[in-house]
Copies of this chain bind each other. A is one copy, B any other.
């Protein structure tokens, strides 16, 4: 996990800020090729032979490391969902008690992930092709993120920091806005991920009726 030297003091500071740093996720060659293929042609549109061809191996090599084709998608979704769930929670608690800061942090964390891990984030649309039990686990993660955002929206509304009529609907609108980012965002675009995140934080604050601190 972490280095064994000088941890006591720097640990909190590091962990607290960690949710902003998204280095390119390191994947095994097999998972990297699977991600590319699934992103381009979808789960059912991708054959295991195509994945093996991209990796430069034969088909049985895939089955040595993963149970079956669905196992490849599960492994990718596992990494993806645990990453976004951890980051959202860290961003939330990092915002202290101020709903404005908490929502700003969570939206920033989500948008940063949607832009810097766009291909991985777009994969979540393929989760509905999983077997029922695996799909269940994935939907639990989605509900977790929704609950984080909804709690902030509700608490902010009760404290008067926000002006929201329907917190559940506003939460879905916030997440829907963010989840659609991978559909149009390209890394070659003019806006960098932090710039996109800043814009969406401001939009999100408007959606909940909180004036940005200008």
Contact B172 A184 (CB under 8 A): yes
Q: How far is the CA of A109 from the CA of B199 in the complex (A)?
A: 26
Within 8 A of B (CB), among A134-187: 165-166, 169-170, 172-173, 175-181, 183-184
Complex partner residue of A173 from B129, B166, B169, B200, CB under 8 angstroms: B200
Verify if A131 is at the interface (C-beta below 8 Å from B): no
Contacts of A43 in B (CB 8 A): 42, 44-45
- Which of A129, A173, A184, A199 has the most B CB atoms < 10 Å from its CB? A173
- A176 in contact with B183 given A170-B203, A203-B207 (CB within 8 Å): yes
Number of copies: 2
Complex partner residue of A207 from B166, B196, B206, CB under 8 angstroms: B206
Say what secondary structure dominates the interface of chain A: helix
Q: How far is the CA of A180 from the CA of B125 in the complex (A)?
A: 11
Within 8 A of B (CB), among A107-133: 125, 129
Q: How far is the CA of A42 from the CA of B199 in the complex (A)?
A: 33
Complex partner residue of A179 from B170, B176, B199, CB under 8 angstroms: B176
Query: Which residues of chain A have a CB within 8 Å of any CB of chain B?
Result: 41-45, 125, 129, 165-166, 169-170, 172-173, 175-181, 183-184, 196, 199-200, 202-203, 206-209
- Closest 7 interchain pairs by CB? A176-B180, A44-B44, A44-B45, A177-B177, A173-B177, A176-B177, A169-B199
What are 8 A-B interface contacts by the 8 Å CB criterion?
Answer: A43-B45, A169-B200, A169-B203, A173-B200, A176-B181, A176-B183, A179-B180, A179-B183
